[in-house]
Every structure is written in structure tokens, then in C-alpha cells.
Chains A and B, each alone.
Chain A
């Protein structure tokens, strides 16, 4: 820089810069916060409600239960069905008398021998699976938008 440049620089340094509106910073930072919410949203690895391992255990337990009931025979099964299950079996017999096949009756008998706790677990598992599927679909849909 020569002398004339330096003199001119001295003059220019005395000039005050233009200022944006007083709420400029707030406006910019609120836009950036919104941007950050989209841009830097932490990517969470998708975790199913029931893990694959849990599904295998549930499946094996259910299978073991079915095998046990089938092997142990219908006599013991009828003995082990108190309360609403005997009512259910009674209604199955009624249905059978109206023309249901014996296969259906056998199936219902087996179903009737399942302990209520096991049925409750099965129902809850199915409900969770349904919810899990729904939430997965919802997540995929929203990520496309």
C-alpha cells in the first residue's frame, strides 16, 4: 500500500457500517434453530418394539405349549380348563352339534386347553406386533416427506 492508499484507508476506517434491524440476530438464529432441527436431527437406529430374539423365544414357547397340549391328550386338557374355558368348550360342543366338523372341534379343544396366561401373552404380542408394523410404516412415510 502506498501513502495515498494508506491515507484513504484511514478515511474509510472512520466510516460506520450500515446496521440491520435490531432483531436481526433473533430472526437469523430462530431460522437456524429450525434448520438445525431438520438438518442435524440425531439419527436414531430403528429399534423394533419386540426384538427378533424375543420373537424367537415367544414362538418357541408357544410351539412347546402346543406340543405339550397335543401330546398330553384331551382328557387332561378338559380337566385343566376351568371357568370361562369350560363355557367356551361347551359352546364349541353346541356348535359341533349344529354340524361343525370334528377337525374344527379338535382344534377348538386344543385352543381351549391353552392356559389363560399364555393366551394373554399371545394376544399382547400380536397387539405389539401390529403397533410395531403401523409405526414402522408411519416412520417410512414421514421420512419421505
Chain B
């Protein structure tokens, strides 16, 4: 709630003509906007340009932001839609993965196994597994688990239905554990 209040304070300041107040919003959201763009567009230079364009667009359209949703939700929807239209222009489609069926029990085992690995390796394996997911699933997982956006908010960002998001996130989580398991297994074999 505090975040929303903070954001609204700066948004109002920008609307009243204090352009510099926008730098607070850029500072706060630049990493996630860039991360989302990078997950979808892949190339850092494209992602950087897209992230810049997102903030410019947000500034231009700031008067149309009514405050009904979180500013972050509104901002991520600009990012997502701009990236999707860019990918459509380039006729690039999201990669797909085989649907891996893992039981909840196996998922728990994989989680315990992951936690037993060295702390410094955990992030590396997690990033490797995340990169293997289809691009749109990477975005969903990041928004839901990292950014704690609700299913409804993700639906506003992506335009997907809540039920579709629920299925995709559930499947993505299982795929992530499966991919993590593979990566960790590869590591064990390389050590032997």
C-alpha cells in the first residue's frame, strides 16, 4: 500500500510539472522493466532500448493512468505489450517445451535437493533453468513469484485469462524443477 501511495505522490508531482519526480519511478522500476524486456527480446541492447521507450511512453501517457491498478502493473503492461508487438513485427514466436509431468512429491524432493547445493551455485542453476522456459512463461514466473503480482494483475499486464495464467504458472514451476534437476544432475556427473 505504501508503495502505491509513494508512486501516486510522485505521479502527481510529475503531473503538476515536476519532471524530475519521474526519476524516482525510473529508479524504482528500471530493473524489472529491463528484466521483462530482456526475457522477451533476448538481446540486451534491444531490451535497453525497449525499457527506455517504455518509460518515455509511460511519461507521455501518465495522464491516462487513473490509479485503479498499481503503477507497476500499468508500467509492466506497457512493457509487455511493446515487446509483444516488437516480436510480432519480427515474426518471432515463443519457444515451447515438452509438458513435463512431475508429481508434487517429486517436486518437494527436487526442492530439498536444490537447497542442499551450495548457496553460491543456487542462483546460477536457477537462472539457467529459468532461461530454458518459454519467454512468456519466464515473464509470468518473474511477475508472480518475484514481483508478487496477483493473477488478476498479471491478467491486466498480459491480456491472458486468469485461468490460463494459473495453468501456465503451475506448469512453468514444474518445468523449472525438472530443469533444475537436470542441471544439478549434470553438475554431479561432471564432478565424478
Contacts and interface: CB of A to CB of B under 8 A. Distances in A.
Contact of B56 (A15, A24, A25, A31): A31
Interface stretch (A33-41, A67-75, A131-139): A33-41
Nearest to B38: A18
Interface string A80-100: 000000000000000000000
B27 to A, nearest CB: 6
A13 B31 CA distance: 14
Interface in B44-65: 44, 47-48, 51-52, 55-56, 59-60
Interface residues of B, number: 40
Nearest to B18: A36
Q: What secondary structure prevails in chain B residues at the interface with A?
A: helix
Contact of A31 (B52, B111, B127): B52
A141 interface: no
B13 interface: no
A16 to B, nearest CB: 7
Contacts of A5: 145, 173
Interface in B28-87: 30-32, 34-35, 38, 44, 47-48, 51-52, 55-56, 59-60
Contacts, number: 93
Contacts of B35: 17-18
10 contacts: A9-B148, A12-B142, A24-B26, A24-B34, A27-B52, A32-B22, A32-B55, A35-B59, A36-B59, A40-B17
Given A8-B177, A9-B145, A25-B23, 15 more contacts: A7-B108, A12-B141, A15-B123, A16-B123, A17-B31, A17-B34, A17-B146, A18-B35, A24-B51, A29-B20, A29-B23, A32-B56, A36-B19, A40-B17, A40-B19
Interface of B: 17, 19-20, 22-23, 26-27, 30-32, 34-35, 38, 44, 47-48, 51-52, 55-56, 59-60, 104, 107-108, 111, 114, 122-123, 126-127, 130, 141-142, 145-146, 148, 173, 176-177
